Amino acid sequence: MPVYEYRCKTCDTSFEERRSATEASPAVLCPVGHSDVVKLISMFAATGRAEASPMTACGSPVPGSCGGGCACHS
Ligand SMILES: [Zn+2]
């Protein structure tokens, strides 16, 4: 699940939130509860280590267990 970085424009606090990309996004509130929040570009989310791994490209956590012809065998 990607982590996004947000900044509250009201109290100028930066914070991170884990969000599912497939779920509808409810309003993000800062730790204090302000709703005037902007999303920042997160280095962590941009690199996306886990998502970029060929082992998870086919949805199988174990390489080789998904049958031939899958990208995880290369
Ligand atoms: Zn705030």
User: Per-residue pLDDT tens for 2-61?
Assistant: 788 899 999 999 999 887 766 666 788 999 999 999 998 755 555 555 554 444 456 666
37 CB-near residues (< 8 Å, 6+ apart): 6, 7, 8, 9, 28, 29, 30
Check pLDDT > 90 for residue 71: no
pLDDT for the residue 38: 93
| Cα gap 48→65, rounded to integer Å | 23
The count of domains in the chain is: 1
Spacing, Cα 28 to ligand 1 middle (Å):
11
pLDDT at 63: 63
* pTM for the model: 0.49
Rounded CA gap, 14 and 42, in Å? 11
Residue 29: predicted pLDDT: 92
Structural domain boundaries enclosing 20: 3-73
**pLDDT confidence of residue 1:** 73
The Å distance, Cα 17 to ligand 1 centre, comes to 14
- What is the pLDDT, as a whole number, of residue 59? 64
2 Cα–ligand 1 center, Å: 22
CA 10 to ligand 1 centroid distance, Å: 5
